[in-house]
Amino acid sequence: MKDIKPQDRLVANIASSEFTPWLNSDGSDSGTSILQLGGGPSKGVGFHIYRMTPGSSSEAHQHRGDEEFFVIDGSLRDNDGTVYVKGDLVLLRDGTQHFSVSDDGCLLAVYIPKVEVNL
């Protein structure tokens, strides 16, 4: 077995790495940020860590492909009132529409296969 080359390994620590602010579609600050290593075809597509500050929300959007996320810390509330808490593993099917609010802030591990459509 060959050793992994330094250029083939990317490592970031969620406690000490700098997150990139996630801006709303109008360019305003959403109060959310992202940590993504692979870059993918677009920011927020593929696997990433998503951080929401207390009181922040995502924009309303529709999924193109199944979204999966794990609540690492804090809690998240969807627009229909469903609350996800630390330890929840969630799948939202292709075509679902929603937005989320984090009253107390949260940290999520997220996988999104395709760019979402803002509503």
**CATH code at 19?**
2.60.120.10
pLDDT in tens, 23-47: 998 999 999 999 998 766 688 889 9
The answer to the question of residue 78 being in a domain is yes
| Positions in the chain short of pLDDT 50 | none
Count of domains for the chain: 1
Range of the domain at 19: 6-118
The answer to the question of residue 96 being in a domain is yes
Q: Are 29 and 21 in contact (CB under 8 A)?
A: yes
The answer to the question of residue 31 being in a domain is yes
The answer to the question of residue 1 being in a domain is no
Closest Cα partner for 94 from 110, 113, 79, 80? 113
The answer to the question of residue 111 being in a domain is yes
